[in-house]
Chains A and B, each alone.
Chain A
Amino acid sequence: MKKKKIAGDIITYIVLVLISIVWLFPFAGLALQSFRSYDPKVEYGGMVDYLIPKHFSLDNYRFLFSGQTNFLRWYLNTIIIAVFVALFQTIIVLCVSYALSRMRFAGRTLLMRFWLVLGMFPGFLTMICLYFLLKQFGLTQAGAVPGLILVGVASSGMGYYVCKGYFDTLPKALDEAARIDGATRARVFFTITIPMSKPIIIYTALVAFMAPWCDYVFASYVAFGHDESFNVAVAMTRWVWTNDYQGYFTRFCAGGILVAIPVTVLFMCLQKYYVEGVTGGAVKG
C-alpha cells in the first residue's frame, strides 16, 4: 500500500513538472529572445530556429528607451487608461451593486433583466456608433486616451454580478441596526458596507486594471493612425504583424517583457483577492 502511494506521488510530480515546463516555455522563450540583438552585425532580430541567443545583448531594450519610437508614450498611455478605468469602474460597480443588493425600488428586477439582455449583444456591434459619439466630443485620434477611459467606464455598471453577490452575503442585520440608530442609507454605505468590502474592491479594481493592457480592438479603432495615442497592445501588435525581414520580433519580445513584468507582479501580489473573486463569481453564476 505504501509503495503504491509513493509510486503515485512520483507520477504526480512528473506530470506536474511536465505541465510546468509547457506552461513556462513560452515565457522563458519570450525572455530569452528579448536578449537577442536585432543589429544585423551581431544577430538577426526576426524569427530564428533556436531559443538561446548566441550573443547576449540589451539592444532591444536600448531601442525601446532610445526615443526612436513612442514606446514610453504608449506605456504611459496604457498606465493612465488602466488607472483611471480601474478607479472609476470600481466606484460605479460599488454604487450599482449596493443599490441592487440592499435597496428595493420599483423596476429593480426589470432593470436587472434588461441589462442581462443587453449583455447578450456582442460588444463590437456598437463600435462604429461609439466611434462616432466619441468623435463628436473630440475623443478620437489625438484624444483617444480620455476617449478610451470614457468607453471603459461608461458601461461598467452592467458588470455588477460578482460584487452584488458579495454584498448579498454581508449580514443585513448590521445595516438595520445602524438605520435604527438613525444613520442614513448613504452613511451605511460609506461607513459599514465599504469598509467590509476590501476583498471585492481589490478584485474589481484589479480586473478593471488588467483589461486595458490587452485592449487591441477598440483602441486600434479609436486611435487609428495617431501614433502618439496608441496603447502598448495596439503599437506592439504592429511589430508582430509586420513583415519578418525587418526583424522587429525581438523588439516585440523586449516590449512584451516590460509590459508583462509590472502587471504580473501586481497580479501575483493580489492573487488571493482574485481567486476569492472568481470563485465567488463562479459559484453564484
Chain B
Amino acid sequence: MEGIRKVLKTIGTTFATGDFRTRISYFILGFGQLLRGQILKGVVFLLSEVAFFVYMAGFGIRYFSKLSTLGTQVTQKVGRTTTYGDNSFLILLFGILSIFIILAFLVVWYLNVKDNHDSEELLRAGKKLPGNAETFASLFDKHFDKTLLALPVTGIFLFTVLPIAFMICVAFTNYDYNHQAPTNLFTWVGLENFRRLFSFGSSGMGSTFLQVLAWTIVWAFFATFLDYFLGMAVAILINKKGIKCKKLWRTLLVLTIAVPQFVSLLYVMKMFANDGLINGYLMKWGWISSPIPFWVNPMLARITIIVVNIWIGIPYMMLIATGLLMNIPEDLYESARIDGANGWQMFRKITLPYMLFVTGPFLLTQFINNLNNFNVIYLLTQGQPQSMRLAEKAGSTDLLVTWLYKMTVNNTNYRMAAVIGIMVFVVTAVIMLSVYNLLPSVKDEEGFQ
C-alpha cells in the first residue's frame, strides 16, 4: 500500500514540477531522454512504446476484447466450405498474454517517468548525466543483474508463468472433449468444475478425489520416510569401522541412480509381472501354484510400488547420509561410550537428532517431490489396476499428478485436469507452509553448531 502511494506521488509531482521534456515523455516515451542526449535509453523506451501499440492494435485487441465471452462465433460447415469462427483457446491464451503485456507496459511507462524525474534532479544538482557509453557499460557492472536475468526471466515467463495462468483460467471454463477448439467454443462456467470435484453424488468426483489424494499422501509418507531411515541405516553399515571396500559397496548401490529410470523401472515392472521372472521362479520351485498378482491386486500393487521405490531411493539417501555422518564429531560418541551407551542408544541420542536437524528442509522437499513422483508410478503401473468404482478412469495407484496426466492425454478433459492441478498446488502449499515453520533448523539456526 505504502509502495503504491509512493509510486502515484512520484508520477503526480514529476508531472507538476517537470519541464516540457518530462511532460511530453508521459505520452511519448523516451522523449526527454532523447532531448537530453541519452540516445540509447530514449530509443529503448520509444521502441517499447511502438512495439506495444503495434502489438495491441494489430493483434492483442482482437483477443483481449473477447476475453469475457471466449468467443461467440461458432465454426460452421456448410457443404464443403468451412467458415472459421472464434477460437476459444487462442482467445484465452492471447487474452492473458495481452493482460501481461499491458501490465508490463505500465511498468515500463513508470520507469520512464522515474528516469525523467531522476535525470532532472541530477541536472538540477549541477551534475552530468551518464552518457550512452556509460549506460551501456553499466549493464556489465552496476546493472549486470539485469543482463544476467533477462533471458531466464523471459523463458520462465513464456514457458511457465503464461501456461500456468492459462491453465488456472481453464479450471473455470468448460474446456473438455465436447468443447474442443477450433471446432467448438468453450466458455466460462464459474466454480462448476470445483463443485463437481467436491460433490459426492453419482456424477461427482468427490470420493475418487479423496481416495487418490489419500493414496498420494500415504505414498509420499512411505516413500520419504522409509527411504530416509533405511538409507541412513545402510550408510551407517557401510561407514562402520573395520568394514572394507567402502567405496565398492557405495558404487554398487549408486547404480540405480546412474541407470536411466525408464530402463531400470520398466525392467523391474516386467520382473514382477504375472509372467515375470519372480513369479516364474517361485512357481518353478513349487512355492506357489498360481502367480502372485503384484500389479493386479490394488493393495499388493501399492505395496510393491513402495518396495520398488525403496530400491530407487536408498542409494540417494545413502550418499547424502554418508557425507553428513562424517561431520558428527567423533568425541560425542567417545564420551557416550565411556558413559556406557550401546550402539542403539548412541544412534537415538546423537546420530538421529543430528541428522533430523540437518536434513529437515531436505525431508520436506523430498516429501513434496514424492507427492509429484510421476516417473516411478507411471513406469511401474501407469496408475493401474483400474477400478470401476473410481471416476474419470482413475486407477488404484494413481497419484494426483498421474491422474492429471491421464485426464489431459487420454480423456482430453482439460477442465478437470486444471482443477486437479490447482488442488496439487494447494496441497503442496499447505504442507510447505505448515511444516516449514516447525522445522528445528528454521526455528533455531544456531543449534548444533
Binding site for B on A (CB under 8 A): 5, 9, 12-13, 15-16, 19-20, 22-24, 26-27, 29-30, 47-51, 92, 95-96, 98-99, 103, 105, 111, 115, 117-118, 120-130, 132-133, 150-151, 153-158, 184-187, 189, 210, 213-214, 216-217, 221, 233, 236-237, 240, 244, 249, 252-253, 256, 259-260, 263-264, 267-268, 271, 274-275, 278-279, 281-285
Contact = CB atoms under 8 A, between A and B. Distances in A.
Contacts of A130: 159, 163
A129 B260 contact: no
Contacts of A275: 319, 322-323
Contact of A154 (B158, B234, B404): B158
A27 B237 contact: no
Given A157-B153, A240-B266, A260-B263, 12 more contacts: A26-B267, A49-B284, A92-B152, A105-B146, A125-B418, A125-B424, A128-B414, A157-B155, A252-B266, A256-B266, A267-B257, A279-B319
Q: Which of A26, A103, A115, A133 has most chain B Cβ within 10 Å?
A: A26
9 contacts: A26-B267, A27-B255, A47-B276, A122-B404, A126-B166, A156-B152, A216-B378, A259-B263, A283-B362
Interface string B409-438: 100001001100100110011001000000
B364 interface: yes
A16 B237 contact: yes
A95 B279 CA distance: 52
A120 B324 contact: no
B270 interface: yes
Contacts of A127: 405, 408-409
A15 B236 CA distance: 12
A214 B256 contact: no
Contact of B159 (A20, A22, A49, A155): A155
Per CB-CB distance, the 6 closest pairs between chain A and chain B, nearest first, are A49-B280, A285-B361, A157-B152, A126-B163, A125-B421, A129-B163
A279 B323 contact: yes
B68 interface: no
B275 interface: yes
A129 B162 contact: yes
B205 interface: no
Interface in B316-331: 316, 319-320, 322-324
B444 interface: no
Contacts of B316: 278
B359 A158 contact: no
Q: Which of A124, A150, A187, A274 has most chain B Cβ within 10 Å?
A: A124
B28 interface: no
A21 B288 CA distance: 23
B237 A15 contact: yes
A47 B320 contact: no
Interface stretch (B19-27, B32-40, B183-191, B245-253): B245-253
A122 B237 contact: no
A281 B268 CA distance: 29
Contacts of B284: 49-50
Nearest to A211: B260
Contacts of A236: 262, 266
Interface string B260-300: 11111011111101011101110110000000000000000
Contacts of A103: 144-145
B258 A19 contact: no
A121 B145 CA distance: 27
A193 B44 CA distance: 31
A278 to B, nearest CB: 6
Contacts of A150: 159
B45 to A, nearest CB: 19
B264 A118 contact: no
A129 B90 CA distance: 10
B260 A259 contact: yes
Interface in B35-57: none
A237 B262 contact: yes
Contact of A24 (B252, B260, B401): B252
Given A26-B267, A49-B281, A184 B275 contact: no
Contacts of B155: 92, 153-157
B91 to A, nearest CB: 13
B148 A96 contact: yes
Contact of B148 (A13, A30, A98, A117): A98
Q: Which of A151, A155, A252 has most chain B Cβ within 10 Å?
A: A155
Contacts of B240: 9, 12
Contact of B260 (A13, A26, A96, A213): A213
A128 B375 contact: no
B47 to A, nearest CB: 23
Interface in B124-172: 137, 140-142, 144-149, 151-153, 155-156, 158-164, 166-167
B362 A120 contact: no
B379 interface: yes
Contacts of A187: 140
Nearest to A98: B148
A26 B144 contact: no
Contacts of A253: 267
Contact of A20 (B249, B258, B311): B249
B256 to A, nearest CB: 7
B89 interface: yes
B388 to A, nearest CB: 23
A198 to B, nearest CB: 18
B358 A283 contact: yes
Nearest to B279: A49
B281 to A, nearest CB: 7
Contacts of B417: 125
B254 interface: yes
A285 B362 contact: yes
Contact of B404 (A24, A98, A124, A184): A124
B141 A186 contact: yes
Contact of B161 (A92, A118, A151, A274): A118
B421 A13 contact: no
